[in-house]
Homo-oligomer: A and B are copies of this chain.
Amino acid sequence: MKDTEQSIIEAAILIFNEDLSAPLEKVADQAQVTRRTLHRYFKDRKELMDKCQKEIRKACAIAMSNAYNTTENPRERLEAMFYAGLDCGSKNTFLHKLHTLHDHKHQAANEECSEYDHTFELWKGNLQVLLTKGVLNQGMTVDWIHNFFQSVVVVFINSQQKGVLGRPEARELAWFSFSKGIGI
């Protein structure tokens, strides 16, 4: 029964991703659990949020790292890491969202920010390689591409939620939109 904690975290990521200040009752409902049970696993809102971030960073960092190591070719790495990011779904986009809030001051000194930076270190590094090689469209920046990437993940998630498009088809479309959109 110890995956209750995990399912609450998953639910929280889903809910908070759409509504940062949503009442905890919504999270509990999504996890099919009582609010009382939620509080047994997480002292308060902050602790739950922290666990969410930890979970997200772990999952994304592992997925990205695995994808990175499947090949040494930067172009192939891009594609592998793109699909890995897609599969992280809302974990990916939620983490990104937290660090692009308009009142969020990003600073490497902050531990959470530096962990965020580290999560996408390999990904951004590989982008930089492709940029300097001239493989991608001139005028692109690493930040633009990274934001663009996150946005495409959102599109993918939406299409999956609506269920009108199969997962493989959506993955293909996503890669098409992303790769062409950065000038490959």
Contact = CB atoms under 8 A, between A and B. Distances in A.
Given A148-B152, A148-B177, A159 B183 contact: no
Contacts of A144: 155, 159, 165, 173, 177
Contacts of A100: 158, 161
Interface in A30-69: none
Copies held by the complex: 2
Nearest to A177: B181
B19 A161 contact: no
Contacts of A129: none
A139 interface: yes
Interface in A147-184: 147-148, 151-152, 154-155, 158-159, 161-162, 164-165, 169, 172-173, 176-178, 180-183
A154 B151 contact: yes
Interface string A1-38: 00000000000001000111111000000000000000
A148 to B, nearest CB: 5
9 tightest A-B CB contacts, nearest first: A151-B151, A181-B181, A21-B21, A177-B181, A180-B180, A19-B20, A147-B155, A151-B155, A147-B158
A143 interface: yes
Among A137, A173, A178, which residue has the most Cβ atoms of chain B within 10 A? A173
Nearest to A184: B180
A101 interface: yes
Contacts of A165: 141, 144
Contacts of A169: 139
26 contacts: A19-B19, A19-B21, A20-B22, A21-B23, A100-B158, A137-B176, A139-B172, A139-B173, A139-B176, A140-B173, A141-B164, A144-B173, A144-B177, A147-B154, A147-B155, A148-B152, A148-B155, A148-B177, A151-B151, A151-B155, A176-B181, A177-B181, A177-B182, A178-B181, A180-B180, A180-B181
